[in-house]
Structure 1
Amino acid sequence: MTSRKHLAAAAVAVAALGAAAFYYLKHPAPAGAPTVAAGQPGAAQNVPPALLDLLAAHRKIIVLLADEQSMSAADKQAASQVGQSLFHENLERLAAIELQLRQMRALPPAQRDAATDAMLSWIESAADLYDADRLAFREVLLGLQKLAAADQTLPAIKLHKRVGEDLAALEDIEKQYDKELKDIFGRFDSRAIVPKRERWDDYVAHLRKLYSREQIMKDYGVIVPYAEPPAAAGDGAASASAAASASASTAAAAPAPGKEIFGNALPPKTVVLTFDDGPHGSYTDEIAAILKQYNVPGVFFQVGRNLGKLDAQGKEIPGKSAATSRQLLDAGHAVGNHSYSHALLSKQSGDQLYGEIAHTDQMLKSVDARRSTLFRFPYGAHNAEGLAILAKLGLRSVMWNVDSLDWADPVPNSIANRVLTTLGKEQRGIVLFHDIHARSVKALPMVLDKLIADGYSFAGWNGSEFTVARGAKPEPDKVAPSTGYANSYAVVIGVNDYQKWPKLQYAVQDANAIRDTLVTRFGFDRNKVFSLSNGEATRNNILAVFHDKLADAQLKKDDRVFVFFAGHGATRQLSSGRNLGYIIPVDSDPNQVSVDAIPMTDLQNIAESLNAKHVLFLMDACYSGLGLTRGGGNAAFLRDNARRMGRQMLTAGGADQMVADGGPGGHSVFTWTVLQALGGKADLNGDGVITATELAAYVAPAVASVSQQTPAFGSLPGSEGGEFVFQLPVEAEFLSAQTGQLSSEAIALNSKLDTGRQQQAEGKAVVLKNLQGGELKIEAAKPVDASARQLAQRANDKGLQLYKEKQYAQAEAAFTEALKFRPDFGLAANNLGFVFYKQEKYAEAARWFENTLQIDTSRAIAYLNLADARMRLGEADKAKKAYTSFIELAPNHANAGYAREQLKKLG
């Protein structure tokens, strides 16, 4: 079913695994859980019960909810309650499996490796497992991968690589089933031909031979009664009976008016995002990071035992996850109570029920007194006694009306579509997510993108009710697709002072500028950027960076490596007539190029051998065939992209061409153009990311239009079509008198560069040179769909570029466009005001600075700009008031001294 070598391998004979190999993975199933059924994988074989029980619960959840759209409300609610019970049993199994995996890693090497291989071989290759079955083991594989990462031995490194490939295969499986699963699990209502789902239907049909929904529910003590017949008119007794029956069939008792909170009471197009069952060791932080990116509040209902425990005297002992709760509160989210052990509280009473609620409230208060008074019953199930305990403790029950079913649905797209479909009908709601699933992390941005685009508001808890904050305006975020990189490494080399080759003027400065851009703009860790300049850039040192530094870094499959070289190159013709290019280290001899220079074939081999997802070479030199030259010739996107290796190279020009070193700011024309491209100009389709192909499509025609160079671009051996990706940061600069602008020389060159790439702007294909000297056609990038929020951000970003190039009329138009998309965009309002200021339109500028402060009263720089505008208008009293407000808000600002001087002048 998949192309990955492990999950596509031939079936391994499970019977040969041996009992000893699985000893440390065996443990009893949770109390009350059904045993392995006949006909399941491994039922007659020596397969670990823990994995089989995990798989059985996964399958039963699928059976329970496979016909979700056609089920009655009572059936659906009962199935959901049983399904959640199955899911939480699996959480217990996973915790036990993690412990057993740790014990297994402590075994003698031979026994440990045999056990690990046996387990993985069964997951990867068992003939009676469907691909959808294997999705049940994602968390097991993730746990094993973490354990392997902590071990630096060669077997552990190999294990880490193998598990990484298996996890990537699960991503492929998820993608393959995606279209089928999203139709099964709550897609938008079909309006045309219903797509066929043969593979998924085959899987569900297979599961129904093993289990029936009715039997699964009965095993868990749930029988849904027949629907009552419609009551005859005036039959009060029958009506009362039907109402009582309907009430009994639901998991939760009807709430007392005003006590319990429901999503259907929210204003239209208002959403509350809630996350149950955490805190989780990693997913809670990831959810919080996404909410921060979108500036959206959340409510996290946490399980007490995940936060810590109570000692014999009832004293709280917080665990490691307590810090996560405090961080959520610091970020403005609400933290609520979800019971101590996630028990079915509707079946409990007395001290046991009281303890489930009170102990967690005690734990939450000990973690941070800011905890909210909100409570969510596990499974939404409660009784009158439970509600009475909440009232006694001053807590309020919060239900939901939009269930993501992220605990049951294995596909993020499907989860997102279910939420959006339900909200499309309800038009408001409290959404139930869980912060303990990777798939919830993946689904959340899809939901937020659509809801923001559709104009929804997000309510937070203010201590007494859910409200949308009116005074606080969200910071402008441009939401770009995730690049999916774990770590980013770079090798940056620049050589001016050659020992035996002609000296260069700008190569080191080019390298330094590229390094600073990687660190300050794209978030590369300085410790992962390896730089060599001038005398450091010997042949041995250059090769050592690749062979030693990157090897010591233990590159992972999801890492990226960026390589920049600025210096001499040479091309040598081989006896076969083929050109072979070399990069020239600082200590190379022109007469010994084949001996002490570095052939391009070596760099290609290095690129192919690096254990990283994507590698991009940017060579400020010229290229022909396999040759590079700088100076005087011979003598002198995106979620699919994450699954493909990428090895790419962009070079400055062709053989026997001179690299133009006289660009602005002490840069070559090529490097200057690259810096402008990475500044945002190469985001040709406006999706917030720059691919290597987009970079080439901007840089090549632009450079060719102002120089005699013809940059070349292409893929190297080992590439699988993947793209190196730069994710653009959000531009959040409030223009002021301190904002830098480009020199006249740079503005003139940028004007020529933009003219040179006009064909791309007009939607025409770009024709470049490939790495072999032939032609490479790059189709024009198509603009992506975007929300008003994203379009406003992009217009603002464009306005910043235009302002820095002193194109004030165009910048004014761009900032105006941003405010058309988002009238409350304080950043664009300030920036429009400053464009007016630069054009000496001070009255207009003052009005827009005032607009900025109405949107965000805490924006100090806008007070400074307003004060300057008032000074220009001769309004001293108003200027004095604005300068004073600036100093009060930002007493340590770099311009506070200037403001104080202005106040002295004003008396």
Structure 2
Amino acid sequence: MKSKLIIVAVVAALAAGGAYVVLRGKPAAAPAASPASAQTAAVPALQPELQALLANYRKIIVLLADEKTLNDADRKAANQVGQSLFHENLERLTRIQPLLVQTQALPPAQRDAAYDALLSYIESASDLFDADRLAFREVLLSLQKLAATDQTLPAIKLHKRVSEDLAALEDIEKQYDKEISDIFSRFEARAITPKREKWDDYVAHLRKLYTREQIMKDYGVIVPYPEPPAAAAGAAGTAAAPAKEIFGNTLPPKTVVLTFDDGPHGTYTEEIAAILKQYNVPGVFFEVGQNVGRYKNESKRLIDAGHTVGNHSFSHALLSKQSGDKLYGEIANTDTALKAADERRSPLFRFPYGAHNAEGLAILSKLGLRSVMWNVDSMDWADPVPSSIANRVLGTLAKEQRGIILFHDIHDRSVKALPMVLDKLIADGYSFAAWDGQEFKVAKGAKPAPEQVAISTGYANSYAVVIGINDYQKWPKLQYAVQDAKAIRDTLVNRFGFAGERVFTLTNGEATRNNILALFHDKLAEAKLKKDDRIFVFFAGHGATRQLSSGRNLGYIIPADSDPQQVSVDAIPMTDLQNIAESLNAKHVLFVMDACYSGLGLTRGGGSEAFLRDNARRIGRQMLTAGGADQLVADGGPGGHSVFTWTLLQALNGKADLNGDGMITATELAAYVAPAVASVSQQTPAFGSLPGSEGGEFVFQLPVEAEFLSAQSTQLPADAIALNSKLDSARSQQAEGNAVVVKNLNGGEQKLAAPKPVDVSARQLAQRANDRGMQLYKEKQYAQAEAAFTEALKFRPDFGLAANNLGFVYYKQEKYAEAARWFENTLQIDTSRAIAYLNLGDARAHLNDNEKAKQAYTSFLALAPNHPSATYAREQLKKL
């Protein structure tokens, strides 16, 4: 058996990172088995717990590595999430302890192999940095205590090896305590051989694995965009009633209060109390109810020693997301437990993570409790280096000159850091305050900025003429035109609010020359069009081009009864449509022709930066065509549509809102459709203004997307997603800054530029971001959809729709814990949102949290007993 680990090789330092890679092994021994495989064979559940422990540790570092550069909101959010990660690791350590006990009970050969695998992983795994190994200190301490209970020779050797590892961790801790930009000096060979790494290199490595924003978002936290200065100033005199909380920034100068959260702990609370006794200073201990039940005597001993014991909730839950009986129980049950331990318990309460809601404060008032916050965070829950913890506290106090300091009595690094802090504070003349009932108040709350009014298109009535012809009498039959026409009609009516009785539709045999002309001359005339009306015209069918004796081309649309030999007689020339358009008493007319021809002579379409303001004063007559002469309209698009109409439908679904103002102008429509269609077919769509146009733009106002994503939400099929990807790629490649080059019907080129965005409210920006997320979700672009829903919540933190949709994007990626957090956020925003309960039930079921899944499904059924998914929810309840 080995008595000491031997260094067998040291390879060259990494030039960029300043790190040495150290190999270790045992002399004259065969290569050890894979740590993961041997360990998993012994105790299957231990390896994933260790990996999760390390992952959370790394995430905490990413969150807080540059805390000094963060603004107050980011710092507060990062601290809240970091503490969540820290407490997850505390729970994980609680689960690891019995696994180590199980390992101890294995037959000797299996036990020794399991321990060797565990320690080999911690000591020398090639993917671990030295700083990573500090994450396993508590595991090694538990293993050391376990080995100390056994006096056999293997146990003694195990104890020695673990002790050497802990000593090496002390060396690592000291090295990171020095100037972190310096390369570490060499050390004696021991079980864990410190590599010489730069802290910055380590943090840079972690940032390749995680980002701060993603970590916080995974834990249900998105920091909103800062409020505009004007809005903040306007709210100054209208703050909500101050909360009755105690803060450290109103203490007398050179005065501090020492507070310790999360205990009592079986070891560290007693050590903290001993240090306080040695320095003769008081402390305030905020205890977790479930720990009080395990260590009742500890609470009494603290009170006997002159310290204050307060309430820190029963399970350290995030109380800002709790309500009703559950929230009340978290507070009241702990108060009962503290009273049972000692009636002298104080009426002080500290919310876990410092997070609370109005209901929580009301419960405190009802129970006669007072909330105590802090203004100096030691970050001992995150920082593995005691001297760094001490320096943080002292550095903050150097600025604040007073404060309530937050420590935790559940970790040995807090025990080590506390004397360093006390020595300095006493030397600097600080006083240490005990609880004396003094009360401090701060104003909280702010009035939201006034909502800006959305821009309106200014139309009175909306009319449409929709024509689709598959069954020609004498021309080749088509496959897609009628389906295209029906889809356009549905989009106009269901998405853009066109009244069904004002959408005139002709298909197949109905679309004769006479009927088409009568529709324009008679139907629209009978409608008694007003000057503020708009007309949308869609034609899907054959087109033709005839060369005139002058050499100029003239385009035609082909009715169902047209004869190929009599185009000039029984087809409809585009000049007729021009004349019709010019004669119509409507503000804006847009022709969209899914047919190929040439010879219209369009003029260049234009738009000004201020068109949304004065567009109502300009007549607009515009046309977008699928292609030019001798080009065939591309069939075979998704859903039985032509490529042109499919692209048009996607554009109207929001993709053509190129400047993000919630409007789609005819110019934007062409700027998206033309290059996209040209990139995937042999067609070159053209666009322009008809004679008589005064530069006005036909405008679609995008509707507000209100769908709460759920398992019933539809997504596009694979062929549609593939085509959309090509279309979007083509559009982005064609764009020149904000301009797109497209054809006019004379074969020339023109640049189309979308109007610049107008000023809108945060609420509108949030809605648009959510709408983009919906588009991306339907195309199964989950990462991009996640970013869009995140953007929506930055603009509007109380946007329940976006919160649910972000949760469902997580759900689709099988990130069920993250999904559950966002469904819970949704229900905090809107407790009546039934579909969020259904989604939460599904997420909890995947996490095997059956009790919470039952609660969620039951709440869903109570709110929506007749919902289409009610049967599904009842079936899920039966399975749980």
Q: TM-score range by the shorter chain?
A: 0.3 to 0.5
TM-score normalised by length of structure 2: 0.48
Greater Cα radius of gyration, structure 1 or 2: 2
TM-score normalised by length of structure 1: 0.47
